[in-house]
Amino acid sequence: MSFHVRGRAMRLLPAAVAASLVPFAPQAAEPQVLQEVTVTGTREGELRSETPASVTVLRASTIESVQPAHPAELLNRVPGVTVMQTNGEGHTTGIRQPIGTGAVYLFLEDGLPTRASGFFNHNALYEVNLPQAEAVEVTRGPGSALQGSDAIGGVINVLTRPPSAKPEAKVTVEGGSYGWARALGTASGSWGDGGARGDLNLTHSDGWRNATGYDRHAATLRADHALSGGSTLKALLSASNIDQQTGANSHLSRSDYENAPTTNYTPIAFRRVKAFRASLAWDREDDDSLLSLTPYVRWNEMTLLPSWQLSYDPVIYVSGHSSLGLQAKARQDFAPWRTRLVTGLDLDYSPGFREEDRVSTTKSGSIYTAWGRGARIYDYDVTFMQASPYVHAETSPLRDLRVTGGLRLDVMRYDYDNKLGTVQTGSARRPESDTRDYLHLSPSLGATYAITPAFNAFAAYKHSFRVPSESQLFRQGSNGDSVHLLPVKVDTYEIGLRGPDKGDLSWETSVYHMIKRNDILTVRDGASPTSTNNGRTHHTGIEAALGWRFLPEWRVTAAGSYAEHTYEKWLARNGSVNVDYAGKEIPTAPSLTGSLSLAWQPAALDGLSVEGEWSHMGQYQLDDANTAGYKGHDLFNLRTAWAFGDGLEVFGRVMNVLDSRWATSGQLSSGQEQYAPGLPRTYFAGASVRF
């Protein structure tokens, strides 16, 4: 193993360590701080201070104060996390990776993947009821041995709210600019040894650009029950229905971006998504052991007329998959050295399908005005199967030292059935029916050291991977070959320092280096393009976060990241030729991102809170050759709420207060800069009533 850090990143390391030492002024006495607990790494509570990873927990109080209309408004408060809005609540994500749609993130709901490996959807957060969550845990970097494919750049785990001890209900209604309207309702209670909670989310927007409206209906039902002998049951049902026009992320020429940003070149595009998940978790715990079994089912289906393909590959398709799976885990604690051993097995059987038709389009100038369905070009079934045993161990050979290690074996198979026959010419080639098998071993090792009760350090090495997606393998397109792709592999090295988790002063900082190998790219091989695993990239960065109540009524929070994302080996097709991009910056990978917020809660006005927020994105490249770039942007937001003693709260927020022109994404097309404009100044107001 080697730790190779290039250029400016190497020079940043001493500065990062020096900056981390600033809070360590001598104190008369060490503060007593309640420590944060996380659940993502081992699927049960563990101290964040003993977790060798960069984990941020966004609790229900934060979610309710932010009132996010889009996941970006919440998640962009986490250092090193950039989420950009596409359509409705759709998103692209950048966590220790360039901002994009790549399958390098794992999205969970109560520890269960929302989709099977191989059926990744970069918009996965709109299938989860995030505004009504109990918490959102964000792990920056790879997951533990308990997570498999896709847990490379980060893991986002949305935790559902448990039933309340006493009967309660809450209704929140809000409205805003561009036809925005949302109603959130929850009801909960407990009786005897059990309880239940139901949540409902109804959202509508007309969209601020032409033909960019969307509707969302989501519901979550959870029931908890305590059994005899220390056993518990948790049943969870989640469902979402999304119907949206997909032009909100449609790129515009630079002139239209600056002067006519409401223009939408692709008003005919749309996306309709349905998702359902159900699970039943049984846990039995005693003083030193735990046995957990969680069977689950899930189903999703999406009909999509993609806006971004209309100019070069216009299609409409229906895809989806259903799943039957099991998470089984056993944990045993041993007295010597506080040793803990976790073993488990993840099973997943997920049959899926794709039906895709060519479409014809009609344009008026630069705007697509109509479409018609053409011939079917793909019709196949594909079943993904997975069996993944793992072992995770923790021990403390010294009182203040906690050492962890893990090993996971992923055994995966695709069983692909082509219903239309083989085609090996043209732009819609189809491979013959086949099976593809993958066997991958993922080790991890980490350690934490408590320098003082309120100050700890950690270091970790993790190997992660992602299996090629079903569409990369079997939707061959014009590629001469696509079915022989291998998994993308990543080695990550990380060190970090953490202060208190909570209290008047909290802070953390970390430095990471990721080496990604076998990345998938397309090269020109003779007369045909071919998908290969010839890419190698490096990702190095520094992340930091600070929370400080410097006066009784005032608190400042800050999060920032500086990163370098570069091609190390990248010979890729550019038109009819291959071009070597080694040494270039990867597009849509801003070096500097951050946020700063100042909150005021005046004692003289009980229940009032006001927060101002600054969000910064630095410049990034628009193309592989680094010939053009986006200059970045700064956005300012304002939130206020006033809670009254009788269960009533009124709130409002203004996003993009200065009405700045900014882009959610950019690209270089045929030598011309193109941008997808972000929201202008937008107003929201609402009220909550708790019964």
Residues 575-620: tens digit of each pLDDT: 888 999 999 999 999 999 999 999 999 999 999 999 999 999 999 9
Residue 501 CA, distance from chain mean position: 23
CB-CB neighbours of 354 under 10 Å: 18
- Superfamily the domain 7-23+38-690 falls into: TonB-dependent receptor, beta-barrel domain (2.40.170.20)
14 pLDDT band, cuts 50/70/90, is very low
User: 52-73 burial, b for 16+ CB within 10 Å, e for fewer?
Assistant: bbbbbbbeeeebbbbbbbbbbb
Determine the residue type at 135.
A
Rounded to whole angstroms, how far apart are CA atoms 445 and 430?
Answer: 42
Residue 687 reports pLDDT greater than 70 = yes
Distances (CA, A) of 341 to 179, 287, 332, 338, 393: 53, 14, 5, 10, 5
Rounded to the nearest integer, the mean pLDDT of the chain is: 93
Q: State the pLDDT at residue 74.
A: 97
Cα end-to-end span (Å), the chain = 58
Helices in 21-57 by DSSP H: which ranges? none
On whether the CB atoms of residues 185 and 174 are closer than 8 A, the answer is: no
Distances (CA, A) of 500 to 31, 451, 497, 596: 9, 12, 10, 19
27 pLDDT band, cuts 50/70/90, is very low
User: Counting every residue, how long is the chain?
Assistant: 691
Three-class secondary structure of residue 8 per DSSP: helix
CB-CB neighbours of 608 under 10 Å: 14
Rounded (10°) CA dihedral 371, 528, 381, 518: -120
Residue 452 reports pLDDT greater than 80 = yes
Q: State the pLDDT at residue 527.
A: 66
Distances (CA, A) of 173 to 22, 201, 651, 679: 44, 10, 10, 22
At 75-129, the pLDDT tens digits run: 999 999 999 998 888 999 999 999 999 999 999 999 999 999 999 999 999 999 9
Stretch among 312-326, 342-356, 523-537 having the lowest mean pLDDT? 523-537
Residue 548 reports pLDDT greater than 80 = yes
Here the tokens at position 160 are 């559902």
Which is higher by pLDDT, 47 or 14? 47
Three-class secondary structure of residue 232 per DSSP: strand
Rounded to whole angstroms, how far apart are CA atoms 485 and 464?
Answer: 17
Residue 528 reports pLDDT greater than 80 = no
Beta strands in 73-206 (DSSP E): 81-85, 91-95, 105-109, 112-113, 135-140, 154-159, 168-176, 180-191, 194-205
Q: State the pLDDT at residue 642.
A: 97
Determine the average pLDDT of the residues in 348-365: 98
Determine the average pLDDT of the residues in 221-239: 96
Helices in 345-418 by DSSP H: which ranges? none
For the chain, give every domain's residue range. 7-23+38-690
Three-class secondary structure of residue 240 per DSSP: strand
34 pLDDT band, cuts 50/70/90, is low
Residue 143 reports pLDDT greater than 50 = yes
Determine the average pLDDT of the residues in 325-336: 97
pTM of the model: 0.94
